[in-house]
Amino acid sequence: MINLDQELVVGLDIGGTQLKFGFVSGQGEVLNFKVKPIERTDEGNADIHSMVETIAHFLQEYKGSRKISSLGVSTPGVIDTDQGIVKTAVNLGWGNLPLRRLLEERLGLPVSVINDAEAGALGEYHFGSGRHKDRFLFVSLGTGIGASLCIDGRIYKGRDNTIINLGHNCIFPNGRPCECGNRGCLEKYVSGPALSAQGGKDAVLLYEAAGQGDANARQIFQDAGQVLGMALVSCLNLFGVDTILVGGGLSQSGPYLMEPARKIIGERYKLKRDWEVILAANPLKAGMLGAAVMAFNDLKERG
Ligand SMILES: [Zn+2]
């Protein structure tokens, strides 16, 4: 008999550059939160084996009395959630990776795998800015851009579990070439790497420069914010939501990115419905929390 009030799960959020993980209770409290850089193989792919060992070590170090029941993993890309396989994750260099099997074999715990934008939406619905919202679009701005539509706490699923592939939505037909094979994709203009490429420095440093009044840095954020705003106008038109909830590392760049985006929406969203673009309450932990929610749900289903 499981007692979910007493048990913890591991929430693991695999980002483009960092792993975030910790123990999560059924009430959404986070214990032993850690952030580690993702190691890359010689081929430049995210090193799954070092990730597995990092989590194994984390579990070995746990000295608490509460039972650790399972692991929920949030990862970018197209996921087969039934099989726990990452079918493609361009930013990690993964294709058909049996993520669940690799983790279960090493850790001896049941593992649930969920796309990062879906996890972010679930995390915010249960523990963040999405509480009491019957429908909202969650947009994750980081190394890539993901989106997920949350309706009454359930995530809209496309055929074959496909997500809302907002980052690879073409904005400029003849724009910058993208790793996906298309050109002019949104995330070539708004993601962390896109901003770094334009500013010649890490997006965090670029944000600091903008804060110190660097006109070039501010212009880069302004341009990216306008492109983001246009993409969000399309989202408001397409999905019939009034709330867009923005998370991910880049959502932390404050007014420099989000204000131009909101200004564009005000100018270009013509349906005259009320709308709001709000920040995730847990921008850095929403994915981990949502992965934990999925792990708890799977535990309940298994009884
Ligand atoms: Zn693309």
Q: How far is CA 151 from CA 74, 107, 117, 156, 240, in A?
A: 19, 33, 14, 7, 11
> pLDDT tens for residues 10-40?
999 999 889 999 999 999 999 999 999 999 9
Distance 193 CA to ligand 1 centre (A): 13
**Quick check: 1 pLDDT over 60?**
no
**pTM assigned to the model:** 0.90
Distance 183 CA to ligand 1 centre (A): 7
* Structural domains of the chain, ranges and CATH numbers in brackets: 8-119+284-302 (3.30.420.40), 132-279 (3.30.420.40)
Average pLDDT over residues 249-272: 92
> pLDDT tens for residues 178-224?
988 999 999 999 999 999 999 999 999 999 999 999 999 999 999 99
Distance 20 CA to ligand 1 centre (A): 25
Average pLDDT over residues 77-87: 92
Distance 153 CA to ligand 1 centre (A): 29
Distance 140 CA to ligand 1 centre (A): 16
- pLDDT for 195 equals 96
